[in-house]
Structure 1
Amino acid sequence: MKMKIKWEYEHKGAHTHFESDWLEQSFILPIVDDLQKIGRAKTIVVMDELGNEWTRKEFIKLGQQLEQEPTEITIYFDGGFQLETLKAGIGIVMYYKKNRKQWRIRLNDQLDELDSNNEAEYVALFRAVQLLEEMGVRNTICTFKGDSHVVLKQLSGEWPCFEDSFNRWLDRIEEKIHTLGITPLYKPINRKQNKEADKLANQALEGIMVNSERQLE
């Protein structure tokens, strides 16, 4: 998550306010300490993209907590459906940072009792949000990417949804996101950009199950 610094300046009767650009978390504390050395920055606060604010002391404590929690989360999802077998496959790939390291989770599942490829897409996204809950993700920004423009644009409110069965999945997804305090960013992509999640969904249809987590750097 990006953050910015806001501070109050006062010198010889001049009094005004400044704020920085959005910065990576690692840049914040050195700049705050440098501003304090100048001696003219009266009140310094750090603000995140959700509007939360912290003093220097609170920000240091926050940084210690964030090192143990997933941040900068991006999720790719996809779903597929076979008319011949009436089986669905879903694939999810999650990238995130923890302890200043990049991690990736890959998982898929084969499901019965779904009716279409579109429904499989909704279920894939719902399962991705469940994964966030299982990981203890709360009160942060998450980016969701998929090649189902219908699902993502309906969730963002750009397109209406007229199917009752799909509306039920939309309600479940939105309720879970709200409960977790997540601010979602929905970004439709093309199938080529979604090839990891697509491969996992197809593997699930073939009975090849994947559930892995590994550090990338």
Structure 2
Amino acid sequence: MKVIVEWTYKSKGTEMIFRSDEVLAEQAMRIAEDLERTGRTKQVQFIDRFDSSWTVKEMKSYLKGIETEPHHIVIYFDGGFDLTTKASGLGCVIYYEQSGKAYRLRKNAFIEGLASNNEAEYAALHLCLQELELLNVHHVPVRIIGDSRVVINHLTEEWPVMEQGLTGWADRIETKMKDLGIQPEYELVSRKANGEADRLAAQALNGIEITATIQIEKESK
């Protein structure tokens, strides 16, 4: 989760309110602790992307609570569709941290019965949400990254959902996210930047099934 640190500075009867840039919650806590050590900070609070305010005590409790649960979650999704066979390949990549370690989960699936590439893209995102549910992910922000302009713009309400088949997928995804308490942060990228999920979708279409989770090097904050 990313937050803004807001604090009140006091010195010789003067008080001023300052705000930081948006930073990760762990970094925000370190900043708050440094500010409090100066002895010139009257009040510190954190503001998240939903304009909710957190006290230092509440933020400490939150950070402690997520240590053993999946957090700092980023998912990449991609769907491939074969117009000739009407088959679809779904690709899903999930990066997350848990108990001080970082992981990457890769999953793909071959399915039939979809009508378009856009449906395959939605199905790929739904596959990612199913995997998050299996990881017991709940009530955390999740970065959702894909190269489907249709899916991203539909779910951010930039574009209306006109096709009936896609409306059903959008409703299903939004319901699943609500059930899990996920706070989505969408990001549209180029196909090249989504290469890992794209390869998984292509492998699924070629009959290559992949399900793997590995520990990776944790990025320094």
Range class of TM-score, shorter chain: 0.7 to 0.9
In percent, how many aligned pairs have the same letter? Answer: 42
CA distance in 2, matches of 1:184, 1:33: 29
- 1:175 aligned residue: 175
User: Alignment partner of 1:215: what SS?
Assistant: strand
81-90 or 195-204, which moves further after superposition? 81-90
Instruction: Give 2:158's aligned amino acid.
Output: E
Q: Deviations along 1:104-147, whole A, 9 cap, x unmatched? A: 11001111222222211111111212222332223332222222
Structure 1 residues 1-217: aligned runs within 5 Å: 1-217=1-217
CA distance in 2, matches of 1:46, 1:36: 14
Q: Deviations along 1:145-166, whole A, 9 cap, x unmatched? A: 2222112112221222221111
CA distance in 2, matches of 1:141, 1:10: 34
User: Alignment partner of 1:75: what SS?
Assistant: strand
CA distance in 2, matches of 1:66, 1:124: 26
CA distance in 2, matches of 1:56, 1:8: 14
CA gap of 1:140–1:51, structure 2 versus 1, over 3 A, is farther
CA distance in 1, matches of 2:93, 2:63: 26
65-74 or 189-198, which moves further after superposition? 65-74
- Give the Å deviation of 1:50: 3.3
Q: Is the 8 A contact 2:26 2:63 kept in 1?
A: no
CA distance in 2, matches of 1:19, 1:89: 46
Q: Deviations along 1:46-96, whole A, 9 cap, x unmatched? A: 333333433333332222222222223221111122244332211101122
CA distance in 2, matches of 1:69, 1:51: 24
69-78 or 29-38, which moves further after superposition? 29-38
TM-score of the superposition, structure 2-length normalised? Answer: 0.86
Give the count of matched residue pairs: 217
User: Mind listing any 5+ residue stretches in structure 2 that lack a counterpart?
Assistant: none
Instruction: Give 2:105's aligned amino acid.
Output: I
CA gap of 1:193–1:36, structure 2 versus 1, over 3 A, is closer
CA distance in 1, matches of 2:23, 2:185: 19
- Give the Å deviation of 1:191: 1.8
User: Alignment partner of 2:23: what SS?
Assistant: coil
CA distance in 1, matches of 2:18, 2:121: 45
CA gap of 1:33–1:191, structure 2 versus 1, over 3 A, is closer
TM-score of the superposition, structure 1-length normalised? Answer: 0.88
Instruction: Give 1:64's aligned amino acid.
Output: K
76-85 or 90-99, which moves further after superposition? 76-85
Instruction: Give 2:81's aligned amino acid.
Output: F
Q: Is the 8 A contact 2:93 2:105 kept in 1?
A: yes
164-173 or 57-66, which moves further after superposition? 57-66
CA distance in 2, matches of 1:30, 1:143: 23
